[in-house]
Structure 1
Amino acid sequence: MSYKRLIPHCRDTQQLLSQAQDSNLSLLTRARVRVHLWTCTACTRFSQQLVFIRRAMQQLGKD
């Protein structure tokens, strides 16, 4: 298996980040996503946006 197959593409990473909001990812999958985030500014921003949206929704639920 080549190293390129270990690092998911942006589309796959974004899907995995979304899935991680609702369920736990395996250790290997979390590591693959983390490596991708180290190298991709766009997906890092996407991840930060997901966190922001989740926190905003939690705050709305408290009101």
Structure 2
Amino acid sequence: MERFLNNADAQPIGTEAMRHKADEELKRFLEIRSQVFDLMAEADRLAAIIRQKAAS
């Protein structure tokens, strides 16, 4: 991880600094991340239904 960070343009940054410098982008990122998790949960539920129907 350290080698990656040393060679990458990205540097570690704290949450407060992110909010100060990129508040709108951080908010949108968190919204998207939440949507992704919601979709993953829905996909898991659908996969369970598909497995159940395929087994019967």
Query: TM-score scaled to structure 1, two decimals?
Result: 0.43
Is the radius of gyration larger for structure 1 or structure 2?
A: 2
Identify which of structures 1 and 2 has the higher relative contact order when contacts are C-alpha pairs closer than 8 Å and 6+ apart: 1
Q: Which has the higher helix share?
A: 2
